[in-house]
């Protein structure tokens, strides 16, 4: 039925525009939220989004609706917005190609079953009980399923399914807090370990010692490194930002911007990656994009509109921006990798589990100042004592050149895959 409606939309849309693109997204989810250790909310949701985009003489218009039956109104809105748009360089929507394999971020074993979410919550609490000084503040678990059908007037009709499983817990012990979470497309997350780790962080962070302001070697956990760097680096590698002069990396293609063993790859095929997929939001087949190789900036990422405007090629990085139908540029799975350098925990360093305030970093210069959370003084990989309060300040792009250690075990933090990372010579404010 849905494909028949999509076919009708394209056929009708071609009467008013040169090209038509239709995306139909469906979703369902269940979740349980806890306050302290008691379930406070349980809910389920179902959603549908129909997004229509038309292109006429280089003028692009889009619109969306949550009611499929209203597709004619949605199409009219897209056509009207195209008539009001300024023309841009445009080389056409992609033609169909053969896509190998099935959905890359979907597990048929995942069901939107509230009993599974309830079991996960119980396991979170069991894990937290390992550290009795820590009290549960809140947390929860959720499961979701989704699908997308993408079709255009050039003959594309691609389908892909997605699944998601998540759990998190927040704890407190005295004045110290702890937080841990995990998210996967399959049922491979361990809620007991999530709860145990959240409670451990709170309990062991108590009675922190003050630390003097100075230059220190830091060991950033995957969560801390991803929180500090991923969003800003993704923005800096965005082709639109680069060509509009809004990226620190705009003039640095081919230059060394990081440690010689640092590589960053946008990998849409990464096993278990939450952003894995065979095609992007415009129907362009995805591909592995090497962004930084051995410390050298190699490439940027593009959607079709940006690529046509600046004489480049789409890298398959178009993403949907919501019901409005607009397309943005984004990563699939940002993978930080390279040879393991100095063992991350060797010698004396400050281990940091998470940071607060990374969103305040300057996206143009890379300057940042953030508060550290659950920080510990370490000697040769052994925790000595917790740090009471501290902030780190510096420049994210300079920081890439100060990387001297990378762990052997990467962790999935959302759509970022990164191990623990050691950064030497960072300013820490006590």
**Spacing of C-alpha 92 from chain mean position:** 29
- 206 vs 177: CA distance, rounded Å: 9
What are residue 400's phi and psi, to 5 degrees? -60, -30
pLDDT at 200 exceeding the cut of 90: yes
Average confidence score pLDDT of the chain: 95
Indicate if 75 and 91 belong to the same structural domain: yes
At 346 the pLDDT is 74
Indicate if 246 and 317 belong to the same structural domain: yes
At 342 the pLDDT is 61
pLDDT at 322 exceeding the cut of 80: no
pLDDT at 10 exceeding the cut of 80: yes
What average pLDDT score do residues 168-174 get?
98
Indicate if 187 and 255 belong to the same structural domain: no
Q: Which of 184, 201, 218 is at the close of a domain?
A: 201
What's the pTM value of the predicted model, to 2 decimals? 0.94
What pLDDT band is residue 408 in, cutting at 50, 70 and 90? confident
What pLDDT band is residue 329 in, cutting at 50, 70 and 90? very high
Indicate if 193 and 55 belong to the same structural domain: yes
Q: What is the DSSP string of 126-187?
A: HHHTTSTT-EEEEEEEEEEEEEEEEEETTS-EEEEEEEEEEEEEEEEETTEEEEEEEEESSS
Indicate if 252 and 344 belong to the same structural domain: yes
pLDDT at 326 exceeding the cut of 90: no
Indicate if 399 and 383 belong to the same structural domain: yes
Enter the DSSP assignment of 255: S
At 381 the pLDDT is 81
User: In the chain, how many domains are there?
Assistant: 2
Range of the domain at 126: 2-201
pLDDT in tens, 20-74: 999 999 999 999 999 999 999 999 999 999 999 999 999 999 999 999 999 999 9
Indicate if 190 and 299 belong to the same structural domain: no
What average pLDDT score do residues 83-92 get?
98
What percent of the chain is predicted at pLDDT more than 90? 89
- 324 vs 326: CA distance, rounded Å: 6
Indicate if 273 and 394 belong to the same structural domain: yes
What are residue 110's phi and psi, to 5 degrees? -75, 125
What average pLDDT score do residues 369-393 get?
93
What average pLDDT score do residues 404-412 get?
90
Strand-strand pairing, 382-386 and 391-395:
unpaired
Indicate if 212 and 197 belong to the same structural domain: no
Indicate if 401 and 356 belong to the same structural domain: yes
Q: What tokens were used for 51? A: 């997004």
What pLDDT band is residue 405 in, cutting at 50, 70 and 90? confident
- 199 vs 178: CA distance, rounded Å: 6
CATH code at 196? 3.30.2290.10
User: What's the alpha-carbon Rg for the chain, to the nearest Å?
Assistant: 24
CA distances from residue 82 to 52, 298, 339 in whole angstroms, order as listed? 11, 35, 49
Indicate if 347 and 371 belong to the same structural domain: yes
- 300 vs 319: CA distance, rounded Å: 15
pLDDT at 344 exceeding the cut of 70: no
Q: Which of 141, 166, 201 is at the close of a domain?
A: 201
At 341 the pLDDT is 60
Q: What is the DSSP string of 1-43?
A: -HHHHHHHHHHHHTTT-SEEEEEEEEEEEEEEEEETTEEEEEE
pLDDT at 2 exceeding the cut of 70: yes
Q: Which of 140, 172, 201 is at the close of a domain?
A: 201
Indicate if 176 and 256 belong to the same structural domain: no
What pLDDT band is residue 343 in, cutting at 50, 70 and 90? low
């Amino acid at each position: 039925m849905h494909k028949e409606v999509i076919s009708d939309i394209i056929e009708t849309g071609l009467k008013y525009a040169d090209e038509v693109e239709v995306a139909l997204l469906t979703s369902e989810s269940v979740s349980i939220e806890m306050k302290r250790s008691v379930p406070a909310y349980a809910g389920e949701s179902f959603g549908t989004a129909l997004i229509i985009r038309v292109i006429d003489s280089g003028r692009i218009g889009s619109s969306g609706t949550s009611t499929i039956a209203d597709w004619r109104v949605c199409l009219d809105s897209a056509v009207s917005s195209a008539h009001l748009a300024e023309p841009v360089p445009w080389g056409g929507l992609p033609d169909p190609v053969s896509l190998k394999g099935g959905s890359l971020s979907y597990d048929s074993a995942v069901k939107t079953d509230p009993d599974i979410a309830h079991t996960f919550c119980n396991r979170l609490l069991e894990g937290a009980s390992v550290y009795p000084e820590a009290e549960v503040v809140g947390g929860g678990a959720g499961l979701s399923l989704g699908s997308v059908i993408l079709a255009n007037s050039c003959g594309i009709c691609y389908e892909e399914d997605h699944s998601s499983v998540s759990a998190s817990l927040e704890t407190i012990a005295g004045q110290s807090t702890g937080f841990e979470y995990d998210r996967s497309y399959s049922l491979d997350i361990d809620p007991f370990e999530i709860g145990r780790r959240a409670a451990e962080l709170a309990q062991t962070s108590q009675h922190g010692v003050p630390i003097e302001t100075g230059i220190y070697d830091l060991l950033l956990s995957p969560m801390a490194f991803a929180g500090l760097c991923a969003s800003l680096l993704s923005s800096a590698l965005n082709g639109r930002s680069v060509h509009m002069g809004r990226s620190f990396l705009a003039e640095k293609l081919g230059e060394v911007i990081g440690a010689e063993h640092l590589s960053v790859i946008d990998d849409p095929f990464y096993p278990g990656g939450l952003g894995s997929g065979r095609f992007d939001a415009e129907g362009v087949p995805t591909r592995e994009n090497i962004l930084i190789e051995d410390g050298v900036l190699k490439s940027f990422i593009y959607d079709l509109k940006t690529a046509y405007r600046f004489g480049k090629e789409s890298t398959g990085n178009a993403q949907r921006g919501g019901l409005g139908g607009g397309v943005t540029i984004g990563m699939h799975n940002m993978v930080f990798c390279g040879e393991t350098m100095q063992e991350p925990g060797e010698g004396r360093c400050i281990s940091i589990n998470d940071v607060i305030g990374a969103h305040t970093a300057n996206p143009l210069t890379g300057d940042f100042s953030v508060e550290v959370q659950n920080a510990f003084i370490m000697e040769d990989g052994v925790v000595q004592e917790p740090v009471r309060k501290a902030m780190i300040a510096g420049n994210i792009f300079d920081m890439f050149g100060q990387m001297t250690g990378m762990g052997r075990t990467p962790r999935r933090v959302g759509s970022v895959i990164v191990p623990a990372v050691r950064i030497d010579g960072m300013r820490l404010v006590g």
